[in-house]
Amino acid sequence: MHLHVCWIGLVFVSIPISGVQILLNTTNRKMVRGLFNKLASKSLKVAGKWQQQQLRRLNIHEYQGAELMGKFGINVPKGVAVSSVEEVRKAIQTTFPNEKELVVKSQILAGGRGLGKFTSGLQGGVHIVKAEQAEEIAGKMLGQTLVTKQTGPQGKVVRKVYLCEKMSLVNEMYFAITLDRTTAGPLIIACREGGTSIEDLAEKFPDMIIKVPIDVFKGITDEDAAKVVDGLAPTVADRSASIEQVKKLYNLFRESDCTQLEINPIAETSDNKLVAADAKLNFDDNAAYRQKEIFALRDPTQEDPREVAAAKADLNYIGLDGEIGCMVNGAGLAMATMDIIKLHGGTPANFLDVGGNASEGQVVEAFKILTSDEKVKAILVNIFGGIMKCDVIASGIVNAAKHVALKVPVVVRLEGTNVDQGKRILKESGMALITAEDLDDAAEKAVKALKS
C-alpha cells in the first residue's frame, strides 16, 4: 500500500492514496527522495501505529460505478450485483444464461481485492470461474471478511458480489482523470499498459505515462481526446470510437462532480471496442446537494462507524488509533492539541473539531463518539472560546455525563468567551474532572491520567 505522509504540525499522518496521486508525484520523486527518506524515518517513529483512511469524498462500489458509466454511454461489461446465493442462482439464469465463464468480484471499498485474502482462508477477492461454479465461490465470499493491502488487518465485510461476463480482452491499459493543483483543473492520465500496479510502472518507466490537462472553461476537445488515445496506443479498437469514449468519460467526470475517475484496466476487446473493465470513482462531498442520486449510493457499512456518527451530528471527525480522545474547537487548535499530546508521550485517538458554533447536543454526541471507542483511555477537551462559548461546552459536558457513563478521566481546558461561567458550571456539576490552565498543562495531565 502506498502512503501519503501528511505533515500536521509535529504529527505525521499516513493516509492510503490511489495510483492517480502517486502518478502526479512521479516526476518530482527523485528530487525529494533523499529528504523524504530522512523525514519518513522520523515520522514513522512519531506516527506509531495509528493510521486510518480519512474520508473527504464519496467512494462508491465498482458495480455502482459501472452502472453510472453505462448511463453516460461508456462501454462496460455486462454485470449484476447480488447479495445472496439465491440471487446468484437467479442472475445466472436470467442475465447469463449462455455464458460458460463468469467473473465473480467481491465488493468492498478498498483496492487490492484480487490479491486479498479472506479471514476464512479463501485466497483472492476476484475469481474467474465456470458458470456452474459461480454460486459456490460467491457463497464463500458473501458475509466474509476480506483483508487487502488497503483495508488494514481488520479487513472489510463483503455484503455484495458483482457477477460480470468474462470478456475476451486483447490489450489492457490504464486511464484516469483527477484534479491537478498545478494546472488548476482536470488532468487525464493514460498509459499503454495497465491491469497491474501502475505505481510500480510509473516508477520504472515514467515516459510511458502521458498527462493531458483539460481547460476547465473550454472542456475536452477532439485534440485532447486524441492525445489520450495516442497515449493508450490501442491496437485493434477503432480510433474514432475510442476518442468518443474518452470524451464521454470526461463528461461523466465533469457532470457528476468527480474528484477522481480511475479505470485499471481500460481494455480493448476482440470485437474492437474500448471497454472500462474496472471502475473506481470518487465524488466531491461539497456537491452532495446537487448530486443527490449519486450520494444516495453511499455505503456507510464500509466506513468507520465513528465517522458516520460524527457526520450525522455535523461534526468534523477523523478516527485514529491512539488512546487519548480529543474534543477541540477549530481545526488548527485540534492539530496543535494532537501535536502536544505526542510531545508529552501520548497518542491521539482522533481529530475532532466541534466547530465555532456547536450546540449542547453536538457536544453530547461528540462525547458519545469518543466514549464508544474502546481504545480511548482518557479524554482531553480543549476549548478556546471565540465564537464558541465556554459555558455551552461546559453544559454539553455535564449533559453528556448524564447520557454516557464516563469511565475514563476527562481533562478540560477552557479559555475565552464566558470562561468563568463555563468553569462554574463544571465545578457545580460535582463531576470528577481534571482542570488545566493551558494547553501544555492539559496535554501533560491527559498523558499522566492515561498512565495512572
Task: List, as residue ranges, the binding site.
Answer: 105, 112-114, 172, 264, 278, 329, 386-388
Q: What is the DSSP string of 203-260?
A: HH-GGGEEEEE--TTT---HHHHHHHHHHH--SSS-HHHHHHHHHHHHHHHHHTTEEE
**Quick one: which of 130, 104, 101, 132 has its CA closest to 118?**
104
**Helices marked H in 15-154:** 19-24, 26-47, 62-71, 85-94, 134-141
Which residue matches cell numbers 490511489?
Answer: 18
Q: Taking each helix axis from N to C terminus, what angle separates 390-403 and 360-372, rounded to the nearest 10 degrees? A: 50
Sign of the dihedral defined by the CA atoms of residues 233, 236, 238, 241, in that order: negative
State the catalytic residue, choosing from 63, 174, 250, 317: 174
The Cβ of residue 245 has, within 10 Å, a number of other Cβ atoms equal to 26
Instruction: Give the residue ranges of the annotated binding site for ATP.
Output: 105, 112-114, 172
Residue for grid cell 519518513: 40
The phi and psi torsions of 111 (rounded to 5 degrees) equal -85, 175
Is there a contact between 309 and 368 (Cβ–Cβ < 8 Å)?
yes
Q: Which cell numbers in the block locate residue 412?
A: 478540560
Compute the distance between CA of residue 300 and CA of residue 285 in angstroms, rounded to an integer.
Answer: 14
In the Cβ-directed half-sphere of 114, how many Cα atoms lie within 13 Å? 7
Contacts of 54 (CB under 8 A, 6+ apart): 13, 15, 318
- Report the DSSP pairing between strands 378-385 and 324-328: parallel
Query: Binding site for substrate: which residues?
Result: 329, 386-388
Alpha carbon distance, N-terminus to C-terminus of the chain? 37
Q: Is 262 a catalytic residue?
A: yes
Distance of CA 109 to the CA centre of its chain: 8
CA neighbor of 426 nearest in space, from 452, 451, 391: 391
Residues serving a catalytic function are: 174, 262
